[in-house]
Chains A and B, each alone.
Chain A
Amino acid sequence: MQDLGGNIGVIGPRSSGKTTYLAALAYWPERRLKGNSKSAFEIESNDGFEANAKIIDKAKERILEGSSFEPTTVAGGVDDLASYMFSIKVKRFLRKSTPINLVAVDYPGEIFNELVSGEVNSLYEEFIEKCLRQDVKGLLVLLPAWEKGSDSFYEQMVRKFIGLIDSHGRMSDLRLAVAMSKCERGEIWSGRLDPEADLFNMHLPETTAVLRKKIPQKNLEFFAISTFGVLDRNNPRPNRVDEIGQEGINSVLREPNVWRPYGMIAPLYWLSTGKRLKADV
């Protein structure tokens, strides 16, 4: 049987929520509301794998108790990159579906910030090399900012990165799932239903345009992700409290018992299979 899984890189600028996203993915299977989940997907976190077990512990500490994740740095080089193992499947009525195995790697945000300043040193190059290697199926690109001014920064970053995709010979076979992260924010929550139109075209038109122009259509999809989710259908306040900590803002779940992340798994499913389900959730 063909295993559709593969290596997936999670990239994006500093503080785009990459580590929080991966921690939530790892922790979610333990916390999900049994029988009350409307998600079309199921995810298993492989806690037999040390990295998963570690990040689950961190997730408890951070997402529940609110000390923030330290920035992921380049200091240890590519050998210290954290990868996590997951398996996802689509829930099907009375039918067994095949699990898809994934290995997701958490890249340091500074590499992508530095793309804009144009400083690519050899350390960064090793990371870029790894995330654009032929055995990487696709990348999840997290972009958190929608406010004015962010578009031109992202546009430069994305343009530079597309140049690297090209020089590594991956223009035709690397999938890019571009997602707006932290979508529980009131201003953009309603945009989640049609992220391409209501988040990307609307708030990041330049970035969206350069992606569409350069990346083959079949390899590009737009998503909305909220790791924290909102409180309730009728109470769409973010299920997140921001606390000012030593290193900036730390985000915690406001109501851990009604934690419903949004759109976490759909991009991974698309990156693995090239298929998108109608309901992304």
Chain B
Amino acid sequence: MFEWLNNSSQSPQTNNGTNASATIRVVGDRASGKTAYMAALARWPNASVNSPVQTIIPINEDGETLAAMAQNILEQGLEMPPSVISDNVMDLKDYQLRIVLKGAFSWRSPSFKGSAKQVTLDINCKDYAGEFFSDLLNKSGDSVLNDYLDDCMQASGIMLLIDGTSRKYQDIASSIDKFLVALDRNDLGGSKRRVALVVTKCEQPDLWINRQRPQDITRAISPQVLKRLQAWQQSGAGSVEYFSASAFGMLGTNTPAPNFTKIRASRDGLAAVIKDPRRWRPFGLVAPIYWLCTGARHKDLDGE
């Protein structure tokens, strides 16, 4: 069993393709959809034949767990339970996934210009409990929090998830502020850190309609967040790009409708489950990862 796993770990380079990798941390407020994002990514259900993504495979046991969560929770039409913050950051699951993009699509992206080869993205990724995010505001100096921040410093890429349906903009902006300050205290030994801001739950019609303009969505949700990130980028500390994503996706193609059933909605955002698991097809999940790995945007992944 798992022979392929051994093979792939022995030869991480594909035969004739381009390989890129990243160590990623997924941060964001409670219920911003971090675990659902990762689980949907690991499961990659009902992929379109037009998708630039060929396969997504979990390559360690933690990655397998993610895919299983997708099957056992999301696909059953159940709500993802909140991740509990662990006192020991070493206990956190480290998800390893391999994403293989079809060759024919990669020529369009500037960094792989002229190559019709497959692109393989290897990521290892930890998803922090949302408490981490609010603790940034309320518990500065706390030792557990500091352990997390130290762990976060190891990452070359940060996926900052913002719930597009939440109205706690002020808190989110303040948390992001604290987070960026903490990031700035450690440099990555010369290489620049990448922060992908991802607006989640973009199957919601009012977000979906602007999904191709993620920076505009960010501005609409919170001008302060956008300003703060822009200032951080201008300071030379790292680079920021904006993305829109949905772990649930849409149903239908001509007049697509969001694939969700609402459980409750409030200032804290929307809680929902997948309406039709058999036709579950998330969108926008790979685009930020591609950028975090390569530093280039992928037109077709962005257009998903």
Q: Which residues of A contact B (CB under 8 A)?
A: 2-3, 5-7, 44-46, 48-50, 52, 78-80, 83, 85, 87, 101-103, 105, 126, 133-136
- A-B pairs, top 8 by smallest CB distance, nearest first, are A135-B220, A48-B257, A49-B257, A79-B265, A134-B220, A46-B255, A103-B205, A103-B209
With known contacts A5-B209, A85-B205, A103-B206, A134–B219 Cβ distance under 8 A: yes
**Cβ–Cβ contact A79 & B266, under 8 A:** yes
* Interface-lining segment among B60-68, B89-97, B210-218: B210-218
Tally of A-B Cβ pairs under 8 angstroms: 57
Bound Cα distance A133, B256 (Å): 24
**Cβ–Cβ contact A48 & B256, under 8 A:** yes
20 pairs from A and B in contact (CB 8 Å cutoff):
A7-B206, A7-B209, A46-B255, A46-B256, A48-B252, A48-B256, A49-B258, A79-B266, A79-B270, A80-B265, A85-B255, A103-B209, A105-B206, A126-B167, A134-B219, A134-B220, A134-B223, A135-B207, A135-B217, A136-B220
Chain A facing B: main interface SS: mixed
**Cβ–Cβ contact B256 & A135, under 8 A:** no
Partner of A87, one of B217, B255, B270: B255
Partner of B205, one of A2, A80, A83, A134: A83
Question: Given the complex, which residues of A lie within 8 Å of B219, measured CB to CB?
Answer: 134-135
Bound Cα distance A101, B205 (Å): 10
Q: How far in angstroms is the closest Cβ of chain A from B226?
A: 10
Question: Given the complex, which residues of B lie within 8 Å of A105, measured CB to CB?
Answer: 206
Q: Which residues of B contact A (CB under 8 A)?
A: 167, 205-210, 212, 216-217, 219-220, 223, 251-252, 254-258, 265-266, 270
Question: Given the complex, which residues of A lie within 8 Å of B265, measured CB to CB?
Answer: 79-80
Residue of A nearest to B275 (CB): A50
Bound Cα distance A134, B215 (Å): 11
Bound Cα distance A114, B62 (Å): 55
**Cβ–Cβ contact B266 & A7, under 8 A:** no
Bound Cα distance A136, B205 (Å): 12
Residue of A nearest to B223 (CB): A134
Bound Cα distance A49, B261 (Å): 11
Partner of B216, one of A44, A48, A78, A135: A135
Q: How far in angstroms is the closest Cβ of chain B from A74?
A: 15
Bound Cα distance A50, B266 (Å): 19
Question: Given the complex, which residues of B lie within 8 Å of A46, measured CB to CB?
Answer: 255-257
